[in-house]
Amino acid sequence: MDVRMTVNGQPRRVAVEARDSLADALRDGLGLTGTNLACEHGVCGSCTVSVDGEAVRSCLVLALQCEGSEVRTVEGLADGDRLSPLQEAFSAEHGLQCGFCTPGFLTLLQQALDDDPFLDRDEQKLTELLASNLCRCTGYVGIRRAVVRAARAGRGEPPAAD
Amino acid sequence: MKLPPISYRRAGSADEAVALLAESGDDAAVLAGGQSLLLELRYGDVRRGVLVDLAGAADLAGLAVADGELRLGALVRHAAVERLELDDPLARLLRRAAAYVAHPPIRARGTFAGSLAWAHPAAEWCALARALDARMTVRGPAGEREVAAEDWFRGPHRTQRAPDEVLTAVTLPLLGAGAGVGFAELRRTSGSFALAAAGCAVHVAAGRVTRARIGLANAAGVPVRAAEAEAALVGSDGSPDAVRAAADAAAAAADPASEPHCSAEYRRHALGVLTARALTEALGEAA
């Protein structure tokens, strides 16, 4: 059967089985392999994407549950070859090392910044949000700095002085 | 790791969901947020061939206050409870507990009522439902019925809901102005299940505790209402000694399980400490 979704702004129709997760549909059906699957039970956050304006685990959502939904994956962040401010900030602040968790963090944090451009001013809230996803390389320090940098850039403020 | 083969049915209303369940018999599961169901299907711990999705049932989406009660429809998500604005201390207690439910992306999809239907012994919502005398509304082929929280839980992942019934709503009585509330939880990491948790609501008048409600998560195979602890506190001045006595009674009421990271003895001790913390928080804000 088919599921119709708007993926990164484009209307798409994907043939799926009922048991396919949204991640399966994105990766296997649409070739959007930027969304990584790792634990496949909601713990690690590698597969995070936005569905209708909320960051969710695409391994714990069936593709068929997304009929008519707006989906944004990591492929939807950059403008052609131009990285988004959040992606630039991840690069500038070394917010990644191996990079496997990065698509999940980028989609999680882009949604959070869309919802709250002042996210960086509530350190506790940011900590709780970052704890949603697992990164085993960075110790989260670079990722946290990247969010702060991106939030400041989004407000037209210069990067924070060290 | 694929999910096993399933068929997916989307219900447009609660009645349609009941009809779809009746068609599929014991092979059907109700899908709301799916944040527990889908992963248990992956593990193979739950085996079902048919998922009946409630997402299209607009009559299950509401969250409303009427006649001194808060009614949460089956589709109300954890995130909505986390943001609940309501002129009653109940909202404060629910918001505090919501912050302990998994992490934000799970809270965006998982539902409050789904937690009550899933009946995990560690669930924050189940402990609070027990503490606050929630009522579960279930609808099946024979019509609708209400089940009190004290009767609802039959064991880990076992409730009074029959396989052909849908949990359509959970109703919680408002606490009333002046109530103090507290919630405390122990878990290994942010986002982990509770090793133990305690939630409470207290009323104080003229320097005496007039009412106390205490619920414990992971204190047994079902959520525990710490009635002895409540009795120990009511009538007292709410002093640290009274809190300690209530906490000891709560720990004594627990029948905790042992697991590699949390022996029964440790869990019982933790339940006492968490009860004391939750009560201290609640007594500090009770008018």
Q: Identify whether residues B131 and B215 lie together within a single domain.
A: no
- Rounded distance, CA B76 to CA B106, Å? 13
- Rounded distance, CA A26 to CA A33, Å? 7
Other beta carbons within 10 Å of B259: 12
> What is the tens place of the pLDDT at every residue in A47-81?
999 999 999 999 999 999 999 999 999 999 999 99
Inter-chain touch A108–B43, beta carbons under 8 Å = no
Q: Which amino acid is at B272?
A: G
Note the residue count of chain B.
Answer: 287
Number of domains in chain B: 3
Q: Identify whether residues B278 and B203 lie together within a single domain.
A: yes
B2 touches chain A (CB under 8 A): yes
Domains and CATH numbers, chain A: 2-75 (3.10.20.30), 85-154 (1.10.150.120)
Q: Identify whether residues B189 and B279 lie together within a single domain.
A: yes
SS (H, E, C) B160-212: CCCCCCEEEEEEEECCCCCCEEEEEEEECCCCCCEEEEEEEEEEEECCEEEEE
pLDDT at A143 over 90: yes
Residues of chain A positioned with their CB less than 8 A from the CB of B100 = none
Residue A162: what pLDDT? 63
Residues forming a β-bridge with A61? none
Residues forming a β-bridge with A7? A10, A71
For residue B31, give the CATH number of its domain.
3.30.43.10
A38 touches chain B (CB under 8 A): no
The answer to whether residue B1 sits within a structural domain is no
> What is the tens place of the pLDDT at every residue in A27-51?
999 999 999 999 999 999 999 999 9
Backbone angles phi, psi at B172, to 5 degrees: -120, 130
The answer to whether residue B21 sits within a structural domain is yes
Q: What domain range is B19 assigned to?
A: 7-53
Residue B226: what pLDDT? 98
Q: Identify whether residues B146 and B189 lie together within a single domain.
A: no
End residue of a domain, out of B139, B172, B205: B172
- Rounded distance, CA A50 to CA B152, Å? 35
For residue B155, give the CATH number of its domain.
3.30.465.10
Instruction: Show which of residues 66-105 on chain A sit within 8 Å of chain B, judged by CB atoms.
Output: none
Q: Residue B287 corresponds to which tokens in the numbers above?
A: 């008018």
Q: Identify whether residues B158 and B191 lie together within a single domain.
A: no
Q: How far from B95 is each of A69, A108, B66, B128, CA to CA, in Å?
A: 28, 22, 20, 12
Instruction: Show which of residues 245-284 on chain B sit within 8 Å of chain A, judged by CB atoms.
Output: none
Residue B236: what pLDDT? 98
Backbone angles phi, psi at A122, to 5 degrees: -110, 90
End residue of a domain, out of B172, B200, B218: B172
Q: How far from B102 is each of B83, B262, B271, CA to CA, in Å?
A: 15, 19, 20
Q: A122: helix, coil or strand?
A: coil
> What is the tens place of the pLDDT at every residue in B109-128?
999 999 999 999 999 999 99
Q: Identify whether residues B273 and B185 lie together within a single domain.
A: yes
- Rounded distance, CA B140 to CA B142, Å? 5
Q: Identify whether residues B231 and B131 lie together within a single domain.
A: no
The answer to whether residue B234 sits within a structural domain is yes
End residue of a domain, out of B122, B140, B172: B172
pLDDT at B190 over 90: no
- Rounded to the nearest integer, the mean pLDDT of chain B is 97
The answer to whether residue B215 sits within a structural domain is yes
The answer to whether residue B17 sits within a structural domain is yes
Q: B32: helix, coil or strand?
A: coil
Q: Where are the beta strands (DSSP E) in chain A?
A: 2-7, 10-15, 48-51, 54-57, 70-72
Asked if B28 and B51 touch (Cβ cutoff 8 Å), the reply is: yes
The answer to whether residue B77 sits within a structural domain is yes
Q: Identify whether residues B149 and B224 lie together within a single domain.
A: no
For residue B196, give the CATH number of its domain.
3.30.390.50
pLDDT at A161 over 80: no
Q: B155: helix, coil or strand?
A: strand
| B191: confidence class by pLDDT, cuts 50, 70, 90 | confident
The answer to whether residue B2 sits within a structural domain is no
Instruction: Show which of residues 137-156 on chain A sit within 8 Å of chain B, judged by CB atoms.
Output: none
Q: Identify whether residues B163 and B246 lie together within a single domain.
A: no
